[in-house]
Each structure stands twice: as structure tokens, then as C-alpha cells.
Amino acid sequence: MKVKVISVLEDNYMYLVIEESTRDAVAVDAAVPKRLLEIIRKEDVVLRAILTTHHHWDHARGNEELAQLFPGLRVFGADERIGALTHKVTHGQELSFGAIRVRCLFTPCHTSGHMCYFMWEDDSPDAPALFSGDTLFVGGCGQFFEGTAEQMHTNLTQILGTLPEDTVEPENEMVKEKLAWARQRDDEDLPTVPSTLHEEFLYNPFLRVTEEPVQRFTGRTDPVEVLRTLRSERDNFKKPKERPNPQAMLAFDWGLFGPFLEKK
Ligand SMILES: [Zn+2]
């Protein structure tokens, strides 16, 4: 299973997952058909399906055009508002594309029909991949447009938080390291995804709502209240003007780290 990361729309990513024995491919959040078609051609693969995390235009707006270009293309998602949707999926549903297997993980909150996709190949040395849409970011989580802090807490702890909490020293050397890394990648015009869930547990405050420093920062102890406060701090944070390249700033959630580091 090979995952091509394709940056789109200056602040976002879409993905092409390739089944290497059959050269079939599955796109995740096919927002910009032109870019996707270039990669499909270059990789010499056949697009079989699109998995859409949610209906927002920066994730789903390419669906109609691709469905016209590829008759019979299957478009999966959990929300009727997703363009060209052919297969509505539900939580826990499994799909397979050749050797590639997918488990659908329903994570309503950013939108009421948000689905994450966990993908792997049996008997493969490749790590499984989680396509988390606008639920979980590198170092952040999505805005609560159509849901509550309670829902996001469930999403992050029970649905996506399947790996054990890490016990590494929390006083966030990890945050500083990741920030330095992201600035470097940003300067070199390289993507700041992917990350690993393991890493996210080490520095993403939205996944660390039971950690003492995060609770101290928010002045709350109840995990849902910690999460609600973090999100509202993030929503009110203005991006620093001196950052020259806005591209990776949105993909990498700088905003939360700024006040988080300053306040300590
Ligand atoms: Zn969105």
C-alpha cells in the first residue's frame, strides 16, 4: 500500500492510496481533480473509488467531475451532502480494494456526517494509515461546527485514540521539536503530514486532555472541559503575521502551540 500525499488549495492535502499488486487506486478527499489526474497518470494506476471524510468543499468538491470522468467510480462517505455520493457508509463498516482494507470510523462534530478511514493491508510490513479529515490534525483537531466538545472527546479518545496513552516525559520537549520540524518543512515547501498516532499522543494537546500541563493551561480538569477550552483558545488565536508562508500553517496547527508555549 503506497500513499501519495498531494497538497491542494494551499492549506490542505488529498491522498491517493495505491494497491501495488493490481495498480488500482483509491483517492481520499479528492478536492482538486486536475492535481489528482496528474498523479494517477504519473503512477499509471486506475482510480476505483473515492473516500470522502466530509462534505466541505475543500474535501469533496472534485467528486462530481471525477465521477463524470470515470463512469462507475464509487464514492463513499457518511453524509448525503457529499457530492456524487454512491455508497453511504456507517461506523465500523469494512471495505476492501484488492489487498487494501478499510475500516470506517464515524467521528461527528466538525460536521455531523464526518467519517475517518483507517486503512491497512494484511501481512504487509507497511504501517496502517488513518485518514482523519478535519477531525484530527497534526498537533490539532477540527473546529466543532456541527457538534459538541463531548462528541470530539469521544472521537479522540474512543474512536481514534486506539493506541495506549504514552507515558513519555510530558513537559513538552516534543512540542518544541515538532514545531522546529514543521518550520523547517514549511521553509522547504514540504508537507507536514503524515504524522503517527503515537507521535500525536506525545504532543497534540487535544489528545492530552488528561495530562497535568494541559489541564493547568486550560484551568480545567474535566477532560471534556479541557478539550472545550483548548478549542476555544485555538478558535480565538490569530496567526502571527510574520510567518511568510501560510501553506503549512493551517495544515500544521500552529495556533494552539503558540499560546500553549507562551503561557508556560
Ligand atoms: Zn471541514
167 CA → ligand 1 middle, Å: 31
pTM for the full predicted model: 0.78
For 5, 143, 207, 209, 217, the CA distances from 13, given in Å and listed in that order, are 7, 17, 22, 27, 30
Whole-angstrom distance, CA of residue 176 vs CA of residue 29: 30
264 CA from centroid of ligand 1 (Å):
30
Instruction: Work out whether strand 129-131 and strand 2-8 pair parallel, antiparallel, or are unpaired.
Output: unpaired
CATH-assigned architecture of domain 2-134: 4-Layer Sandwich (3.60)
Region of residue 133 (phi > 0: left; psi between -120 and 50: alpha; otherwise: beta): left
- Please tell me the distance from the alpha carbon of residue 55 to that of residue 108, in angstroms, as a whole number: 12
144: pLDDT confidence band, cut at 50, 70 and 90?
very high
- Rounded to the nearest angstrom, the distance between the alpha carbon of 120 and the centre of ligand 1 is 24
Residue 187 CA, ligand 1 centroid: distance in Å: 25
Which pLDDT band holds residue 1 (cuts at 50, 70, 90)? confident
Quote the ligand 1 centre to 61 CA distance (angstroms): 12
Which residue has better confidence, 163 or 173? 173
Mean pLDDT of the chain: 82
Ligand 1 centre to CA of 136 (Å) is 11
Q: Ligand 1 center to residue 202 CA distance, Å?
A: 24
pLDDT, tens digit, 9 for 90 and up, residues 66-94:
999 999 999 999 999 999 999 999 999 99
Provide the pLDDT confidence category of residue 249 given band limits of 50, 70 and 90.
very low
Where, residue-wise, is CATH 3.60.15.10 in the chain? Answer: 2-134
Span from the CA of 8 to the centroid of ligand 1 (angstroms): 14
Cα-based torsion angle of the residue sequence 246, 252, 255, 258 in order, rounded to the nearest 10 degrees? -110
pLDDT category of residue 243 using cuts at 50, 70 and 90: very low
Residue 62 DSSP code: T
